[in-house]
Amino acid sequence: MTVYFQHWTGDIRWMQLTPRGEWIGGSKSEVIVSDAKNATPISIVAYAVNNTAQWHLFYIDKNNLVRQKSNTNLTNIWENGPLNELNLTAYNSQSVGLQACWYGNYYGDSDASNFPTHDGSNNTIEFDSDTHGMHLWYPTEESVFKQYGWYEGQEQWLEQHTWPDMNGHAGVGCYSWGPGSTTYAMLVNKENTAEVWWKDTDANTESTSSHPINTWVNATQFSIPNVHPSTSLGYTEYFYAQMADGSIRGHNIDWDAENTTGIEENHFTVGGARGPVLGIKGTHMSVTAVADQSGGTSLYVFYQTRGDDLSVFTRDVMGGQWTQGELPVPDE
């Protein structure tokens, strides 16, 4: 497991958890970029194509431009990604949202044909379950997000959607790697309520008023009120958000398009042996789930509790006690 973070010097660096449970890296030797804006959000997408592993890092630079750096296991060199050519300008604020999401399910995705080829003609690449790509959300105004998309084999990103009436200071969550043809995006509205939106891309299904096709729809049966105005959002196994009091809550979701609901009895608050541990309000947060040596799966939640720390909280995916630790971030 690799963690990407902004060092106090402003650099974006990486640290890695070894099979022996030791954290290594985080020094000047692990610097990826040095032009990041202070307190930039960081988003990473990683996947493999034709036995080649890829990593794509997204951040906001000192000029408020959304930037992409890409690396593969063939080159082991971080290079500028195609998004940089667009010079997309993010909303200028100390706290803004930014999220890139792997898109691994293209069944019936009508956006695919809209991606131009290099000479401007229509796209003829067949998009199927083996095609990979990414979606990206960033705020252009205090209450507006833009969504861009990119598919493997394309040369440039394409604008896909505008999200009005959203909180540009808060993060974005996504879930697009599940079975079926429905993808999900999670955003915070202007009333500081985290919402779930869904989009079914199966063009072979008849569109109805309750289940339209190729349209983003609010799943109104589930929401999280009273989140912190600058909360990060994240989804892996559970949907996480920071509440107004600084606590980090995990929510178990039954994903079912317009019938999406939360399973209340499985919600939890992240903490340690003594109970919930509050994050600094507006902390950046990252979540994942990793298979462990015992054959089970462990949840990992990363956030800051003081401001100079990088704390990690772990628990078995099925439940049990949280454990708390800190990553050894080098001083220099």
pLDDT digits (tens), the chain, 332 positions: 899 999 999 999 999 999 888 999 999 999 999 999 999 999 998 877 778 888 999 999 999 999 999 999 999 999 999 999 999 999 999 999 999 988 754 333 334 344 443 344 444 444 444 557 889 999 999 999 999 999 877 889 999 999 999 999 999 999 877 666 788 999 999 999 999 999 998 888 899 999 999 999 999 999 999 999 999 999 988 999 999 999 999 999 999 999 999 998 889 999 988 889 999 999 999 999 888 877 788 999 999 999 999 999 999 988 999 999 999 999 98
Q: Residues 301, 58: contact at Cβ < 8 Å?
A: no
Q: What pLDDT, on a 0 to 100 scale, did the predictor assign at position 178?
A: 67
Please state the separation of Cα 31 from the chain's center in Å: 21
Q: Residues 174, 235: contact at Cβ < 8 Å?
A: yes
pTM of the model: 0.90
Q: What pLDDT, on a 0 to 100 scale, did the predictor assign at position 179?
A: 64
Q: Residues 93, 100: contact at Cβ < 8 Å?
A: no
Pairing of strands 238-242, 248-251: antiparallel
What are the tokens at 132?
């990979």
Q: What pLDDT, on a 0 to 100 scale, did the predictor assign at position 131?
A: 59
Q: What pLDDT, on a 0 to 100 scale, did the predictor assign at position 165?
A: 97
CA–CA gap between residue 71 and residue 80 (Å, rounded): 9
Neighbours of 23 (CB within 10 A): 18
Average pLDDT over the chain, rounded to whole? Answer: 89
Q: Residues 190, 164: contact at Cβ < 8 Å?
A: no
Q: Phi, psi (5° rounding) for residue 197? A: -115, 145
Dmax of the chain from CA atoms?
61
Write down the architecture of domain 86-326 according to CATH.
6 Propeller (2.120)
Q: What pLDDT, on a 0 to 100 scale, did the predictor assign at position 189?
A: 98
Q: What pLDDT, on a 0 to 100 scale, did the predictor assign at position 265?
A: 84
Q: What pLDDT, on a 0 to 100 scale, did the predictor assign at position 104?
A: 55
Question: How do the domains of the chain map onto residue ranges?
Answer: 86-326
Q: Residues 166, 145: contact at Cβ < 8 Å?
A: yes
Provide the residue type at 212 as one letter.
P
Q: Phi, psi (5° rounding) for residue 30? A: -105, 20
Q: What pLDDT, on a 0 to 100 scale, did the predictor assign at position 117?
A: 38
